[in-house]
Amino acid sequence: MSGVTLVLGGARSGKSSFAEQLAESRALPRTYIATAEAFDDEMAVRIARHREARSGKGWQTVEAPLDPAAALRAARGLVLIDCITVWLGNLMHHERPIAPAVEDLCSALADSVSRVIMVSNEVGLSIVPENAMARRFRDEQGLANQRLAAAADEVFLVTAGIPMRIKG
């Protein structure tokens, strides 16, 4: 049953919808590891909208804004982690080191008996950000995506709602 899928895409590319369709096509217990934190009202609305969209579809939601690796280690069945990008932003916000956290997630992926699908943004296809923090985030995201893609059995890139298999 184990296996790791990484779904990449830009903002509003359809990557989360595609990942959920992959997950819901399987008749397993499903755990949704949510990484978002509601730092403002707009984000609280987004989180509520996502929860409602999953309602009644057999998902158990686990909130893990800073440690999805621990949540993955506790889960069984199929696990969807959405999203790596938000998680990295949380780590930066809370001033936590990113590289060791990504390595811990990769270790949890390697040890997992669950089928895992991760969602992450591809942020390196645009202009170079104008400030140091945004450039650091872009770089950390790109490095994390490379590490997670190497750990994944299959990788999809979703553009304009169309998934393209790029690995596996």
pLDDT in tens, 80-106: 999 999 999 999 999 999 999 999 999
Whole-prediction pTM value?
A: 0.93
Q: Which pLDDT band holds residue 146 (cuts at 50, 70, 90)? A: very high
pLDDT at 50: 84
Question: Residue 148 has which token pair?
Answer: 């997670």
The answer to whether residue 50 is catalytic is yes
Please report, to the nearest 10 degrees, the dihedral formed by the alpha carbons of residues 40, 33, 162, 28 taken in order.
-150
Mean pLDDT score, 17-32: 89
User: What is the rounded CA–CA span in Å between residue 154 and residue 3?
Assistant: 8
Least confident range from 43-57, 104-118, 120-134: namely: 43-57
Mean pLDDT along residues 35-43: 89
Omega before 106 cis (within 30°)? no
- Residues 83/43, Cβ–Cβ less than 8 Å: no
Output the pLDDT for position 108: 97
* Token digits of residue 104: 């811990």
Confidence band, pLDDT 50/70/90 cuts, at residue 52: confident
Catalytic member of 50, 73, 138, 147: 50
